[in-house]
Amino acid sequence: MNTLRNQVQLIGNLGNNPEIKNFDSGKKMAKLSIATNETYTNAQGEKITNTEWHTVVFWNKQAEIVEKYLQKGKEVAISGKLTHREYDDKDGNKRYVTEVIGNELVMLGSK
């Protein structure tokens, strides 16, 4: 049951091309912005779609796969864990970030 404590699964579409970073240590990072949609009908019978945006980060070999195969609009399924971090921006303001650290990726849709 420990593996279920912090697990996120998303199916959505990339909002932008992946952002790829190569570090001096040899590590590679790919950052994705994924949109998930939820559709429902309100009391007036109108169809409403809510879109949520999620930041997903992949490292090393998976980042290489992201760089090679993914682009804006591609539908993907990801699994990972939710993380929170904070940093100070260039103006000294504290910023908070929530992102998913991906550990599995499945490319969906047509080739």
Tokens, residue 19: 């952002």
Q: What is the pTM of this model?
A: 0.84
Neighbours of 111 (CB within 10 A): 3
User: pLDDT per residue over 18-44, tens digit each?
Assistant: 999 999 999 999 999 999 999 999 999
Residue 81 contacts residue 101 (beta carbons within 8 Å): yes
**Cα-Cα end-to-end distance for the chain:** 36
DSSP symbol at 17 = P
DSSP 8-state code for residue 69: H
Q: pLDDT tens, 92-105?
A: 999 999 999 999 99
CATH level 3 topology of 11-38+47-107: OB fold (Dihydrolipoamide Acetyltransferase, E2P) (2.40.50)
